[in-house]
Amino acid sequence: MRVLLTGGAGFIGHHIVEQLLRVTDWEIVLLDRLEHGGNLNRLAEVLTATAARQRVAWQFHDLRAPLSTQLVKQIGPVDVVLHVAAATHVDRSIAAPLDFVWDNVLGTAHILEYARQVGVGKFVFFGTDEVFGPAPEGTAYREWDRYNSGNPYSATKAGAEELSVAYRNTYKLPVIVTHTMNVFGERQHPEKYIPMTIRKVRDGERVTVHASADRTKAGSRFYIHAHNVVSALLFLLEKGEVGEKYNIVGEREVDNLELARMIAAIQNRPLDYEMVDFHSARPGHDLRYALSGEKMATMGWKLPLNFEVALEQVVHWTLRNTNWL
C-alpha cells in the first residue's frame, strides 16, 4: 500500500512515519512546505535509525496552492491520504487569523480536490477537539455534536472538517474524520505546554498555569501520546467506516497544574508556578476540553501506552535531547 501523508515533517506527522515504518510494509510519500511546524530534523532522526527509510519519499509543496499535474505525477498512485498538515497554536491564530484560513480551509480544499481527481481508497481528515469549544464540567462531546469554535484556529479546523464531510456527501470521497485531543511526545515544538514546562522546571523558571477567572481552577485536557494516536489511525484504517467521525481520546483528564507537578516530580525538582486568568486576558483560550472515547472503545480499540508511563518517557527523552527545547 502507498500512503500520502501531508505535514509529514510535523510533530504528529513524523510520529506517523516512524510507526508506519515499524509496523507495516507500506510506502509513504510525504508532502510538506517546511515552515513553522515542519522540521526535517525530525525525519532525519527517525529515518537514520531504520533500514526501512527507502520506503519514504518526500515532495515539497505548499497546500495553499493546488497540486500541479507534474507534482501529481511525482507523487504517483496512492491508496490512502492522511491529511495531517495544518496551522496550529491558538496564539498565532488570534494574531493572524487569515493565515489560518489559507492553511487550514483552503489547504484542505486543495488536498480534497486532489484526492477526488486521482481517486483514493480512504481519506483521513485529522481534526481536533477544539471545534466543539469549551466543555462544561461533566460534559464530554460525542463525534457528531454541534461546533462552538472559540478561536480562529478551531474555526478553520471546523471549516476544513465540514469540507471533508461535503466531499464525502457530494463526490462520495471515502472520508473518515478524527477528533484528537492534546497530543504530546518526543520532538514536539517547544512552544507547546509540555516541552515548555519541562524546560522551565529544568531551568528553575516560573511556569504559567492557565486558570479560571478566580485563579483557583487550572485548565484541563485529556492528553494523549503520539504513539497512541498512530495506533488509533491504524485501527481506523482497518475498521473505521467511511463517512463516520471518531474521537481519539487520552485515558484520563489531567489539569495543567497537576501536569506541571508531575513533570517537576519526574525531574526531582521544585515547581515554581503562577495561576493566571489567561482566558480573560486573551479571549479564545478555553479552560476545559473533553471528548467521549466511547465509540472507539466499543469498537475494541485500547490505548497501548499509559499516560503516566508515556509522560515519564517523554520527560527523560527530552532532557537527553535538549536540542528539541
* Burial zone of 20 (CB within 10 Å; 0-12 exposed, 13-18 middle, 19+ buried): buried
Q: Which of 141, 153, 223, 246 is catalytic?
A: 153
Report the 3 state secondary structure along 272-283: CEEEECHHHHCC
Q: Is 268 left (phi over 0), alpha (psi -120 to 50) or beta?
A: left
Q: Active-site residue 141, yes or no?
A: no
Q: Which of 130, 143, 161, 186 is catalytic?
A: 130
Enter the C-alpha cell of residue 27.
510506502
Are 105 and 206 in contact, with CB atoms under 8 Å apart?
no
Q: How far apart are the first and last CA of the chain?
A: 36
Q: Is 300 helix (H, G, I), strand (E, B) or coil?
A: coil
Contacts for 121 with CB less than 8 Å, ≥ 6 apart = 79, 80, 174
Distances (CA, A) of 65 to 56, 59, 285: 23, 14, 30
Distance CA 9, CA 176 (A): 22
Q: Active-site residue 130, yes or no?
A: yes
Q: Active-site residue 153, yes or no?
A: yes
Q: Which of 18, 32, 103, 129 is catalytic?
A: 129
Are 218 and 210 in contact, with CB atoms under 8 Å apart?
yes
Q: Any idea which residues carry the catalytic annotation?
A: 129-130, 153
